[in-house]
Chain A
Amino acid sequence: MMNCKDWEERVALHAGGDLAAAAAAGVERHLAECAGCRMLWSGIKESLELLQGAHAEAEAPGIYTAVRGRVLGDLQAGRMPWWRRGWVVGLAAAVAVMVVALASWPVPKVEILLPRVIAVIPPAPAAQALQAVRRQARGLPYRRRVVSPEQAGKTPRQPLMVRLVTDDPNVIIYWIAD
């Protein structure tokens, strides 16, 4: 009894025209004797023809155009100058937003500590100055009164000027104190 399983590969190859002349002739001789392998051979030929016929239709041109467009779009995007690439524009926008946000952020005021005036020594009024000169002439200590800024504001601020007349009319001594 003939084992057709051993012939299956050769029959399948022969159906597609893939055997050399000598091998093809051997298969042809077997097919002439074996009805089962003849059915296999004709079935394979038929299904291959159906398959090839079903795939013979051309695809719509638009399908190719779409693929071409996608590929060229990708390539052009990759070759764009750096300043025209999307991610660069996005990064620049993000940096600009950050700069604006930082600039408008409330900054705490730094308080500059200046020396505080707690008291001033106002110029002595003319009467007081005269009294002071007298006290000094008598060998008494000169006392100046310390007043607060508020009190100082009420006191007229006039410089003390002492005019000393000497024997020589050309020599006059002025003593001015603030």
Chain B
Amino acid sequence: MELAVLAMAGAAETPEEQRSVIEAAKSGDLAAFEILMRQHERLVLVTALRLVGNMPDAQDVSQEVFLKLYRNLRKVDGAQSIAGWLYRVTVNAVRDLQRRKRPEAPMEFAENLPAGGTDPQQAATEAERRRALEMSLRMLPEKERAALVLRDLEGLTTEEVARVLGSSEATVRSQISKARVKVRGFVERYFRSR
């Protein structure tokens, strides 16, 4: 599996060095585990943030994911395997968190969201645009959001997304296309209403 390991902070490290770090972490070396965390923390935290939509929950999810990684280090072999494992566990941890919390408003209610103001100049500010885009993600159903985040924001291939989500490629392609159409609809409605 050719996962796009965008999180690899130590890009200069050789695969041998990577393996030795993983082996040291497996033997209980916390310093080695910290190196592993530094290499993959962006992957976990940013993916979690894109899925849950707020930083405190994303940090909680990241903490849970890394603690699970430490307990399951024997199940992962190399950096690519760790990245795939982390994506899968992050998506599952977010799913668990959202099941514990109140369900979000479905996409159909997006057009009823209150507009932020009437001044078109103000509407064009970057902060507002970002907030609107964040909202468009949060309006998506859970599986479509995960597929879109992994494919369009994390840059995984459709095959990799299917492996992470445990779905077929056809299902993932359907989810991605639906999510893209919904996000486009939300963005157009939001910015036209300003």
Residues of A whose CB lies within 8 Å of any CB of B are: 8-10, 12-13, 15-16, 18, 40, 43-44, 46-48, 50-52, 54-55, 59, 63-64, 66-68, 70-72, 74-76, 79
Contacts and interface: CB of A to CB of B under 8 A. Distances in A.
Contacts of B174: 9
B41 A75 contact: no
B72 to A, nearest CB: 13
Contacts of B180: 12, 15-16, 44, 47-48
A51 B59 contact: no
Given A54-B133, A67-B45, A72-B34, A47 B187 contact: yes
Given A16-B180, A63-B45, A68-B37, 13 more contacts: A12-B176, A47-B186, A47-B188, A48-B180, A51-B137, A51-B152, A51-B153, A52-B153, A59-B42, A68-B34, A71-B67, A72-B34, A74-B67
Contacts of A55: 46, 50, 133, 153
A176 B75 CA distance: 104
A75 B33 contact: yes
Closest 9 CB pairs of A and B: A12-B177, A47-B187, A9-B177, A47-B184, A12-B180, A54-B130, A71-B66, A43-B184, A54-B133
A67 B176 contact: no
B11 interface: no
B164 to A, nearest CB: 16
B138 interface: no
Contacts of B133: 50-51, 54-55
Interface of B: 28, 30, 33-34, 37-38, 41-42, 45-46, 49-50, 55, 59, 62-63, 66-67, 70, 129-130, 133-134, 136-137, 151-153, 158, 173-174, 176-178, 180-181, 183-184, 186-188
A71 B63 contact: yes
B59 A48 contact: no
Contacts of B151: 16, 18
Given A12-B177, A16-B180, A54-B130, A68 B41 contact: yes
Query: Residue among A47, A63, A72, A75 with the most chain B CB within 10 A?
Result: A47
A54 B137 CA distance: 12
Given A16-B180, A50-B133, A68-B37, A75 B152 contact: no
